[in-house]
């Protein structure tokens, strides 16, 4: 099959941040066609009989917000899926576990000076994933031991220092993992009324630097796991 430009199928927009994440997704897509839009490389193709358009946004919230806006407003994506890696905030969420977010907040966004207290309970900070999508996925992934559903946080910092971790856990105790793009993607999708999903595989545990593999090796492995479960998610949502 090739990409159906007549839009008979829903268009799934995917956002990755890094080359490793992008390559893992592209390895699963039938006949990807490349084009460039405002310096962002876009790939169109078919995955699980669905129209897919995937891009590498680059790292950080501004890059992610820009890519999300382009996929929705220019390419008319019907749903946006953010796929990639994240750092675990809890030892029980271990390497190669897959976190499917039920909500996401930007931990470094701070309006406490105006009495807007940080935390998942405050809608100024938090963006929730559709319960309809989550319920469907939970039924399909019920017996998948690698998969965890729960909240996550995003910030424009690579989290590895104890003061960063303490800062996050002080206000977002329930957060399972942290990344640098998902919160911005969720905010744009919420503003434009487009459903979204965040699928992140754990590539590191932020308060534990003990690993026999290099970070680069862990990124590749985690990206491949994230891509595998993205395929399962698309099948569960659109092929049932």
The answer to whether residue 86 is domain-embedded is yes
The answer to whether residue 2 is domain-embedded is no
The answer to whether residue 4 is domain-embedded is no
pLDDT band at 128 (very low <50, low <70, confident <90, very high): very high
The answer to whether residue 1 is domain-embedded is no
- Confidence check: pLDDT of 211 > 60: no
What are the pLDDT digits (tens) for 144-158? 888 999 999 999 888
Q: Quote the percentage of the chain above a pLDDT of 90.
A: 57
Residue 203 belongs to domain spanning: 11-238
- The pLDDT, as a whole number, for residue 61 is 94
pLDDT band at 76 (very low <50, low <70, confident <90, very high): very high
Over residues 222-231, the mean pLDDT reads 91
- Split into its structural domains, the chain has a count of 1
The CATH number assigned to the domain holding 85 equals: 3.40.50.1580
Catalytic residue among 20, 21, 179, 207: 21
Would you say the pTM of this structure is higher than 0.85? yes
Our answer to whether residue 21 is catalytic in this structure is: yes
Our answer to whether residue 30 is catalytic in this structure is: no
The answer to whether residue 3 is domain-embedded is no
> What average pLDDT does the chain have?
89
Catalytic residue among 20, 179, 181, 204: 204
What residues contact 22, with CB distance under 8 A and at least 6 apart? 16, 43, 54, 55, 56
Over residues 194-214, the mean pLDDT reads 79
What are the pLDDT digits (tens) for 32-68? 899 888 888 899 999 988 999 999 999 999 999 999 9
pLDDT band at 101 (very low <50, low <70, confident <90, very high): very high
- Confidence check: pLDDT of 194 > 90: yes
């Amino acid at each position: 099959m090739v990409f159906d430009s007549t839009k008979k199928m829903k268009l799934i927009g995917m956002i990755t941040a890094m080359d490793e994440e992008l390559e893992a997704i592209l390895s699963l897509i039938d006949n990807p066609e490349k084009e460039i839009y405002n310096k962002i490389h876009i790939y169109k193709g078919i995955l699980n009989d669905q129209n897919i358009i995937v891009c590498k946004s680059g790292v950080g919230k501004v890059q992610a917000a820009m890519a999300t806006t382009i996929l929705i407003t220019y390419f008319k994506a019907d749903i946006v899926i953010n796929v990639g890696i994240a750092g675990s905030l809890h030892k029980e969420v271990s390497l190669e576990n897959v976190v499917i977010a039920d909500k996401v907040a930007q931990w470094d966004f701070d309006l406490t000076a105006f009495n807007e207290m940080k935390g998942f309970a405050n809608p100024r900070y938090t963006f929730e994933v559709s319960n309809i999508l989550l319920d469907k996925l939970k039924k399909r992934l019920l017996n998948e031991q690698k998969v965890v559903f729960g909240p996550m946080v995003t910030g424009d910092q690579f989290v590895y220092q104890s003061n960063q971790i303490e800062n996050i856990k002080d206000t977002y105790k329930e957060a399972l993992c942290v990344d640098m793009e998902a919160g911005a993607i969720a905010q744009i999708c919420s503003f434009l009324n487009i459903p979204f999903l965040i699928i992140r595989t754990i590539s590191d545990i932020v308060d534990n630097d003990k690993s026999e593999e290099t970070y680069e090796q862990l990124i590749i492995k985690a990206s491949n796991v994230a891509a595998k479960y993205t395929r399962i998610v698309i099948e569960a949502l659109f092929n049932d």
